[in-house]
Amino acid sequence: MSGPERPGASEQPRQVGGGRAGIGDIAPKLAELTDDVLFADVWNRDGLSARDRSLVTVAALVTGGDAAQLRFHLGRAVENGVSRIELIEAITHLAFYAGWPKAMTALGVAREVLGAD
């Protein structure tokens, strides 16, 4: 890998899911997969920092128009070191690739989660 190495899983806070707490009562298998595969494994792999994973995830959710999941992941992105300014800039950038309506929806969610300055 050229340039600075990306932090490994052991060099950053461990990412933990909330599947069992959030949906375990209605969808125990999906909750298990969320916690044990998506978060315990995929989110904690070496190769990308949690910060970079958060930025990629936010971009995917904006592109897909997934406002409900975006609420959670905007907060997670801030916890993982992505600034409010970077998140708004990413959404603005995505308006031209993902579509204006999706970006406008995402900005509404961002206002709720991150507040307005």
Q: Tell me: do 34 and 90 sit in the same domain.
A: no
Q: Are residues 109 and 68 in the same domain?
A: yes
* pLDDT at residue number 1: 40
Residues 66 and 18 in one domain: no
Provide the domain limits for residue 41. 14-45
- In order of 52, 55, 74, 89, 94, the CA distances from 12 in angstroms are 12, 16, 18, 24, 28
Does some domain include residue 8?
Answer: no
- Count structural domains, the chain: 2
| pTM score, whole prediction | 0.83
Residue 6 domain flag? no
83 and 95: one domain?
yes
- Please count the other Cβ atoms lying within 10 Å of the Cβ belonging to residue 35: 19
User: Is residue 59 included in any domain, yes or no?
Assistant: yes
Residues 13-30, mean pLDDT to the nearest whole number:
81
Q: Is residue 50 within 8 Å of 13, Cβ to Cβ?
A: yes
Dmax (CA) for the chain in angstroms is: 45
pLDDT computed for residue 59 by the predictor: 98
* Structure confidence by residue, pLDDT tens digits, 60-91: 999 999 999 999 999 999 999 999 999 999 99
**Do 87 and 32 reside in the same domain of the chain?**
no
- Residues 29, 59 within the same domain: no
